[in-house]
Every structure is written in structure tokens, then in C-alpha cells.
Structure 1
């Protein structure tokens, strides 16, 4: 998956130079964003779901330096106090892969949402490896800079000088879960529920979710939007129906009477670039900017990445229908797993690569491939 839009007023970045002065921040920092300049050492290819490998590489870095934090980040029940972006660069499709040219510069972002992760990033920068390895691609870490300024949740609560409209731009495909399905629209309640979950988990300044979201539903006015829908493969299995683009919103005059919730509204807007929007943000989805960013027309690269998501959705529907008599969550998970494996095999990916990403034995992936092909053949 790659980013689908970027700010139109963004200035060209200077040529990267080897890491010299490392970023630092105060010990009480809870939120910070880092951007890495990476250089491809050789011409090579990336598979379209390379963000799985980025995710795994970062977690392995955590495991090596802080096993306790690593165990917490692997806890499937908790909100994740970090997120990552996809690689930002011109990645051209070659067949069913994305092509990297030797000496090509790419940009990658990692954001911390808790004091513990911010502390880890500070330590990590002093022991940063020279390269980032993504299967067949080796990227040299050239430079690290602060992309989002270090701050705290209490500082986010400081009110703005003026209560004005705000912009939210969704740089990478963004989606929510609603009643068991993907919901690809930035409805204010869904937006601010997404931000409030992170706030309540990591800020130590908890807020009543029901009361605040009722107020959001009554108070937020959407002034403008420019959105495009997109289907992508995301995370380890399955596909996501999401959106990219921008919206402008604000509060009604009556809403300003509730000063506590008004203050929180603007704090959560400032939180959005750090935490991202929606789900699967640790795999590059939901990257968010406070600038107005027009959605870009589908590039050849985006068409390639969309193709996998669309194929996974198509196969998931077939396998779910064939297994519908058994029903339940297990049916949905098996159908999504079969669909993901078969679609990626159709894209030319190896059994070993898929097995590593799904954290499954190669023999199991091979068996699932055979079962999925047999099931598809029976379908017609």
C-alpha cells in the first residue's frame, strides 16, 4: 500500500545527508513524530503489502531494546500507542510488483502516542541500525528529523487563539468499523470516536465517551469535503474499503457554550496527525494532516495496490458464501485468510513471504492455497 495523496503546497525536500545531529525532546514528552530519509542501496522490487514488513521490522526493533514494551505492543486487546506511514516516494509498478531504483530516496514516518513509546524512540535513535530491510529491498537510513513536534496531552488541551474551522486531510486510505463492516465516510461521530479512544487510553485525562460523542453528533458542522473511495489490502489479512481526501468542519454557535467539550474538540483535532484516523493505522492506513490536501487521481501504482484489495474482497465474498452454513466469526476469518493467501499467490508472491507476513507455517499456507483453489474451481 502506498500513500495516495500529498500536500500540493509541500516544498521540495533537501537532499539527504548522513545522520549527524539526532532529534531530542523533553523527558515528559508523550507525543512525537519522526520522519526517516531512506535510500535504496540497489534496484529491487517491493510487494504491494510491504507495510506488513515495515510494521514487523519496527516491532522487532522494539523487541531488541525493550522486551516489556514489545510484549505490550503485541497485546491484541489494547490500543496501539504508535503508528507508521507507508513509504512516500514515486514507486512505479513493474508487473505485479513495485520497483525501487538504486539511490532512490524514500520517506517514512513513525509516531509515538505515549510517554513510554516516546522514551523508546529517544533510546532507539542512539542505537539506530544503518539499514532497514524489507525482504528483497535494503534501505539505508540517511537522516532522521522531527515531523510532528514533541508535546503532551495536557499541552494539546490549551485552547486556540480563535475557534475557527479546521481541515482534516486523509493522506492514506482511511476507514472505520461500523456494525461489523467497513464504513468509508468521515462522519464526525466516527472521526472523533477514533481520536477519543486514543485520548482515553494514553492521556491520563479520561473523558466520558457517550456524553462527548452525543455532543459531537449535535454540534459539528461539515462545511466542505472532497473525498474519493478506495479499496486496498491492509493489515495481515482481508481488504479495506476506505477513502482519501479532505474535509473542513467546525462547531455550531450553540456548541461553544460547552467550554469543556469545545476545548477537547480542538485538542483531538491537534491529536489527529499523531494518532491517525480509523483502524489499521499501525499498517500505514489513516495518515492524517491538518492541511487541505486534494485527493490525487489514481496513479498506476495506486491501481496496482487497489487491484489486490479488490481481488481479496471478491474472493472473500465467494469463500464466505460457500461456508455460510457454518456461519460465525470463524467462517469470516477463514474466508478472509484463504482470500488473502490466494490473491497474493495470484500476484506472484512466494509461499514463504506470505507465511512470514501471516505468521503461519509454510505448510499451512500451502494447504490453504490448495483448498482455496479447489473451492474457487467448485464455484465455477
Structure 2
């Protein structure tokens, strides 16, 4: 049986069984647009002080590893001007300041990589899970890879799903979708708006960014009016944020917000509430805002 969800953005299709529950299409390989989030647990063999933000270094390490298995794809990712089909974090569990980050053998650290299209997700699976690297180099410092995780039961920042299954999770719900969602921003998050950088995760900017990233890579097209819905219908009901700088490639600073925000829909039908919930779940994989390939905009839904 095929389930169809109609809305202003078009139609969503998903296979289901006779009970109306969505099938796990990810197990079918080619039928699924896989999304993946992989956490690497690293340990430094020596005490070393590194720059305070390592997102760009993790991006370089990721491309180097992918290049060992598929040089052409790694080069295409590097050369692409638009949104990158992956995200790379700085250290997830250790925040650095102006004086940098000091790592040691007694303090394991974690980095994360996500894939947003099947080709990249499959290559990440091969290069990190099926054939895990022994070392991971960040800013010319070689860490030992202690563990590779892709299971949300083991690490909340890891997992795998698909665009189809994220849509089906809302499509097959009999109860009313949640009217509020909470997002955690673990790395500085900022947005480009009207030629300015906005370091505050306002509803229209957050959900506009998520729907643009979804539509850039997903086979299921969503209504771009989600940005306007965020601006006009969604409100911030609770937040705890602080500003944090990131040193850019050119030596300048970008400011982003870190913390958590609860967004509440003041009105809306099932379609728009479903999109809000679906995009909140997608944030774990897609990231939010600008510079997500190099460490900014690492976000996830908190329940």
C-alpha cells in the first residue's frame, strides 16, 4: 500500500504495510534517501593545545578520509559552491575559548559527521563504519580513534534514517502533531539575512534554513512557505542562549548563538504542524544556518 500526504508543498509518498504503518525503507538500500550521523570518539596520545574551534579541521579530515575511497566525490564536495551534502562538527564535548582547547590522553573528545545524500552517506558508512580509521588528524595533531558510533541508543548525536521515513513519521500519526519543539544548538549558529549575519535563531530563520536544506537534497519537495510560517505563526516560548565567536578562514570572527530554544506554533493545520515537527527532527542531520560543513549550526531536537 502507498500512503500519500497532500499539502501546499506537494505530495509525499511512502510504502506501508496493511496496518498503515510505514515500512523501514532504509533496509531496502536503493529505495531510500539515506541520512546518517556518525560520531567518532577520539583520544589524544599527548597533551596538546589546539585552536578553540575545530570545525574546519574536521571538515578537512573528513574530505581526506573520503578521498581515500572515492577521490572524485571528495573533490566534488570540496569544489561545490552551494550547500554541502554533509556537515562536520567541532569537538562536541569540549568548548574552546580564545586561548584554545587543551586535549590530553585522560580526556576523550568527540567529533561528528553527517551525510545528506545517498552517495555521501554510503561513502561515510564505508569509510568510517565498515572500515574505521585508526587515527583522525585535526590541525596537524593526530588523535587515536577509540570508537565509531551510529546508534542513537549509544549517542544522542548519532543515528540514521531517510527523508522518506522522516516524512512518514508525521504522515502515519493519528494524533495531532506537537505544537511546540525544542532545538539544542551545540555549536555557534548564525544566518545570512539581507546581507547581514544574524546570530539569533529566530523561528523564520531556523525553519527557513531547514526547509531550504531539505529541498536542496531530498527527493520530497516541501513548501518554501515554511519560512513565512515561521516568521508569522511561530513564536519563541522559552530560550537559553549565549553568543560565541568562531574564527573564520580569513582570520575574522563570526558570532553565533549556542543554547536551546523552544518554538511554539500559535496556529496551523496538520500540514504545517507536521512540517514543523519533521524539520525539527531533520535538524540532527542537516544542521541549521550558515557554515554547517565547517562546524557551525550543529543542532538537534530535544524531547
Instruction: Give the TM-score normalised by structure 2.
Output: 0.79
Deviating above 6 A after TM superposition, structure 1's stretches of 4 or more consecutive aligned residues are none
Q: CA separation of 1:287/1:90 partners in 2, compared to 1, >3 Å: closer, same or farther? A: closer
Structure 2 equivalent of residue 64 of structure 1: 68
Query: What is the aligned counterpart of 1:282 among 280, 293, 297?
Result: 293
Q: CA separation of 1:116/1:53 partners in 2, compared to 1, >3 Å: closer, same or farther? A: same
Q: CA separation of 1:92/1:271 partners in 2, compared to 1, >3 Å: closer, same or farther? A: closer
Give the drift of 1:139.
0.7
Q: CA separation of 1:179/1:142 partners in 2, compared to 1, >3 Å: closer, same or farther? A: same
Q: Give ranges in structure 1 of 5+ residues lacking alignment.
A: 1-24, 293-380
SS in 1 for 2:302: coil
* RMSD value, Cα: 2.3
Q: CA separation of 1:71/1:87 partners in 2, compared to 1, >3 Å: closer, same or farther? A: same
Total equivalences in the alignment: 263
Query: What is the aligned counterpart of 1:43 among 40, 47, 53?
Result: 47
Please give the alpha-carbon distance, in whole angstroms, between the structure 2 residues aligned to 1:154 and 1:226: 32
Please give the alpha-carbon distance, in whole angstroms, between the structure 2 residues aligned to 1:106 and 1:135: 15
Q: Superposition pairs for residues 170-319 of structure 1, below 5 Å?
A: 170-209=185-224, 211-235=225-249, 237-253=251-267, 255-256=268-269, 259-291=270-302
Give the drift of 1:239.
1.6
Structure 2 equivalent of residue 309 of structure 1: none
Confirm whether residue 53 of structure 1 aligns to residue 57 of structure 2.
yes
Structure 2 equivalent of residue 343 of structure 1: none
Q: Give ranges in structure 2 of 5+ residues lacking alignment.
A: 1-25, 151-156
Q: CA separation of 1:207/1:162 partners in 2, compared to 1, >3 Å: closer, same or farther? A: closer
Structure 1 equivalent of residue 177 of structure 2: 163
Kept in 1: contact 2:77–2:84 (CA 8 A): yes
Confirm whether residue 121 of structure 1 aligns to residue 132 of structure 2.
no
Structure 2 equivalent of residue 16 of structure 1: none
SS in 1 for 2:79: coil
SS in 1 for 2:39: strand
Kept in 2: contact 1:42–1:103 (CA 8 A): no
Structure 2 equivalent of residue 102 of structure 1: 105
Kept in 2: contact 1:49–1:234 (CA 8 A): no
Give the drift of 1:236.
5.4
Instruction: Give the TM-score normalised by structure 1.
Output: 0.64
Higher strand share: 2
Q: Deviations over 1:144-174 (max 9, x none)?
A: 1114331111111121544222101211111
Query: What is the aligned counterpart of 1:151 among 161, 177, 193?
Result: 161
Structure 2 equivalent of residue 84 of structure 1: 88
Q: Superposition pairs for residues 315-326 of structure 1, below 5 Å?
A: none
Give the drift of 1:76.
3.5
Higher helix share: 1
Please give the alpha-carbon distance, in whole angstroms, between the structure 2 residues aligned to 1:66 and 1:175: 32
Please give the alpha-carbon distance, in whole angstroms, between the structure 2 residues aligned to 1:103 and 1:137: 16
